[in-house]
Structure formats: structure tokens, C-alpha cells
Amino acid sequence: MGKVKVGIIGSGNIGTDLLKKLMRSPHLEPSVMIGIDPNSDGLRMAREAGLVTFDNGIQGFVEQAELADILFDATSAKAHLHHAKVLADMGKKVLDLTPAAVGPFVVPNVNLHEHLDKGNINMITCGGQATIPIVHAVNQVSPVHYAEIVATIASRSAGPGTRANIDEFTQTTARGLEMIGGAQKGKAIIILNPAEPPILMRNTIYCLVDKEKLDQDKITQSVMNMVKQVQAYVPGYRLRTEPLFDDNKVTVMIEVEGAGDYLPPYAGNLDIMTSAAVKVAEEWAQHQVKV
């Protein structure tokens, strides 16, 4: 079985980290990288690795469409709106790592099976990838009325896009907690911590459930299982302590250490995005092969 050819749009930190991960994939073969800065680290590394590179945006790729079947978009929400349309017309599958939200929100292991047939999938936010699985795990045992998450990330791991539009993080993550986590109401908070050396990404997930339906052992088991599933694609995803219970509140604390591919290990927030996107693409690849 041959590998499925994939392309990366965006040669910044995220695009370059994707490149490193894709080069290890048993199911995917990175074949093209599309950027706008010929001198970027990402395009240089891609050229060295033998990929076809374009430094004039997506136009060059349109003329050589056979180069890739799945595209990762690590640019900006605004750019993605254009890319999404062009790529849809070409019949390409697209993984959107921007906040554009053209396609459905997906967290692997939670709702990917519902969207395998979609042409465009959105990866929500880093906080969403880190916390929605836990809310889902609790919700499977005891319906979650209210889920609140606090994501704390190292200042150095928050890029200019996140900083310029931090409301997008809180609003999109909250929607994901509801739509995919299953909470009736979601709320998200993000905190940037400038400590040196940089801290690992930390997430606290609070869930309010019915007191009568709160089964501590089952919830703990469900959360542990979910952590294992996420660890399959983000090995540095860990519980800080066992889930804590007070009255009708469940508290789960998670830290995320990145694989340190292109991004430093403390940037678990970025690693979980790129890892989740690669995971979805691998599922797509295997699915296509089966079909």
C-alpha cells in the first residue's frame, strides 16, 4: 500500500512542525510545501527533504494538483477562506489549523468517525484539543451541565495570531466544549505565563454534573481511558493528579509536553494541534485505502 501524498500550506512554526511529523508517518508522504517567504526555515527544510516547494502561495499548487491529495492549512483564518474554496473546487481534502472554522470541529477519538467523509475539517483550538476529550469522557458517565476549562500556556508559545485575537480562543473553545464535549454550557479561559524556563501547557477542566449521577470510580476510569487514547498521538499528554471530586464538581488537571519536533517541548499547546491534525490525516489515508 502506497502512502497518501500530502501538502502543507504555511511555512511558519506550525507548518514546519507538521513537516517533521509527517516525515515519520507510516501512512502519509509530505510532497509539497506552500509558503510565501522563500527564505523561511520551513521552505528551506522542505527543499532539503526533497519536497516540491512554492513561495508564491497556493497558485503554483493549483497548476500541479497531482502533487497532494490532503492539504494542511497552517496560515490564517482569512487566508484559509480563500484556500478552502480553491481546494474544494479541486476535490482535495483539507485539514484546517486556523480559526476559520469552514468545516466541522473535530477531536480525534471523540467525533472523527462522524466526519471522515467531509472535505474540510477544523482542528478547533489547542485548548480545545487538550480539554474536550476529558469533558467527553466525563459526559459519557455523567451528563455535564457546565464545563469550564483554563488553559495556561508559556508566553513564548503564543504566536502573533493568537495574541492579536485572543477572544477567538475563548469563544471557539467554549463552543467546542458544548458541541463536541457534550456540555450543556461551556466556558474557556486562557492565561499566558512568561516564566523562564517556559512552563509546559497546563489545562484544568472543571465539570459540573448531577450529584445523583456522579460515579467517582466510573468517571475516573473513563478519564484514564481517554488520557491513554490521546497519548497514542500525543505521548506527552498527562494527568497531573487523579480527578478530584467536590460535591457535584469534577476537576481534572492535565499537562501537555510536546514531542519537540520543530517546536520546543514546552509548546505542548502547538504540538497537540499538529499531532491531532496528523492523526486525522492518517485516519483519512487508511480510510481511503480501505475504500
Q: Which residues bind another protein (CB under 8 A)?
A: 146, 148, 150, 152, 155, 163-167, 169-171, 187, 189-195, 202, 204, 206, 208, 240-241, 244, 249, 251, 253
Backbone φ, ψ for residue 3 (5° rounding): -80, 155
Cα 45 to Cα 57: distance, rounded to the nearest angstrom: 17
Backbone φ, ψ for residue 254 (5° rounding): -125, 140
Which is the catalytic residue, given 51, 126, 183, 223? 126
Report in angstroms how near the CB of residue 17 gets to another protein at its nearest.
23
Report in angstroms how near the CB of residue 236 gets to another protein at its nearest.
17
SS3 string of 41-69?
Answer: HHHHHHHHCCCEEECCCCHHHHCCHHHCC
Nearer to another protein, 207 or 280 (CB): 207
- In the three-class reduction of DSSP (H, G, I as helix; E, B as strand; rest coil), residue 147 is classed as strand
Nearer to another protein, 1 or 164 (CB): 164
207 is catalytic: no
Cα 129 to Cα 151: distance, rounded to the nearest angstrom: 11
Nearer to another protein, 218 or 249 (CB): 249
The secondary element (H helix, E strand) that includes residue 6 is strand 4-9
Nearer to another protein, 12 or 42 (CB): 12
Report in angstroms how near the CB of residue 187 gets to another protein at its nearest.
6
Report in angstroms how near the CB of residue 175 gets to another protein at its nearest.
13
Please identify every residue annotated as catalytic. Answer: 126
